[in-house]
Amino acid sequence: MKLSIQSANIINTDLSNLDEALSLVKDSGFSAIDFNFTEYDHDVIKQAQRCPFFEKSTDILINHYKPLIKACEKYGVEVGQSHAPYPTFVFGADKKFNDYMYSVVKKTIKISAALGSKYIVIHPIFSADLTKKLDIKSENEINIEFYSSLSNIAKECNITICLENMYSKYKGKIYGDICSDAYEATLLIDKLNEKAGREIFGFCFDSGHCTLAGRDPYRTLRVLGDRVKVLHLHDNDGIVDKHLPPFTGVAYWDLILKGLHDIGYKGNINFETYKTLDNVSKTDKESIIKLLGQTGKHIMEKVQ
């Protein structure tokens, strides 16, 4: 078990600050990162716009990240997990664009493996607009087809694909969406692993999404059990997905930590708190990351 932090808002998209960023990460008590492909913003994807960066071949893209691999080795920081660009499927976009997004996801799996990541989080396909939501049967079918089609790549790369609990909104009200119900998520993951013939699918527990969806985190974690492979730990006000540091919002942390302890979670303690680092000075950013390191040590003690 290692302390991990999301790379977004810490490592520059052009990788120009690797020494400074990873030195800070290491000095703050972290020995792993959750690598994010910030080259492709989710708002751009939602507009069905292609990303020139991902037009390149996988080999060229992997070569682009070699300085990151070397810097991680230098500072003793591993890429413990990664996060594919999202949404993975845009409702209303044409087939050509969604096929393109599928190719991007496949590339990020291979890049993640090259970075040494054991896990990649890939969001399920769903419509965050409840007025356009698929029925449960269709939603399950499209996700089983989508994830199953990635099985061979995952096997070749020796990487585990993790589904994440999601939420949606309607007229200001927040609703739990795909994978927010632990029983439904369990059935989906088990079905995918059965089709794959071995365990190559797992779960990313997102504490912020669980809180927004109004789910009991302890119950959620106990039902999912050892399917939980990675974490997105952050907090919020129960209204907006603010990605705040733990213990600064309304998330029920006693239940979250007890749940992780009781399922025997052995993975990394990973923070997805990138929004906290928006529009802050360099000094404040350093202070926040160091505070997160201290918070992580406290969480680790409770979980182990």
Q: How confident is the model at residue 132 (pLDDT cuts 50, 70, 90)?
A: confident
CB 270 within 8 A of CB 230: yes
Amino acid identity at 24: L
pLDDT for res 128: 86
Q: Which 8-state DSSP code applies to residue 165? A: -
Q: Residue 293's CB: how many other CB atoms inside 10 A?
A: 19
Whether the predicted pLDDT of 130 surpasses 90: no
Give me the domains of the chain, ranges plus CATH numbers. 3-303 (3.20.20.150)
pLDDT tens sequence across 79-112: 999 999 999 999 999 999 999 999 999 999 999 9
Q: What percent of the chain has pLDDT over 90?
A: 95
| pTM check: above 0.85 | yes
DSSP 79-134: EEEEE--S-SS-TTS-HHHHHHHHHHHHHHHHHHHHTT-SEEE-PPP--SBGGGPP
Question: Is-cis flag, bond preceding 245, omega within 30?
Answer: no
Among 159-163, 230-234, 277-281, the least confident range: 277-281
Residues with Cβ within 8 Å of residue 70, at least 6 apart in sequence: none
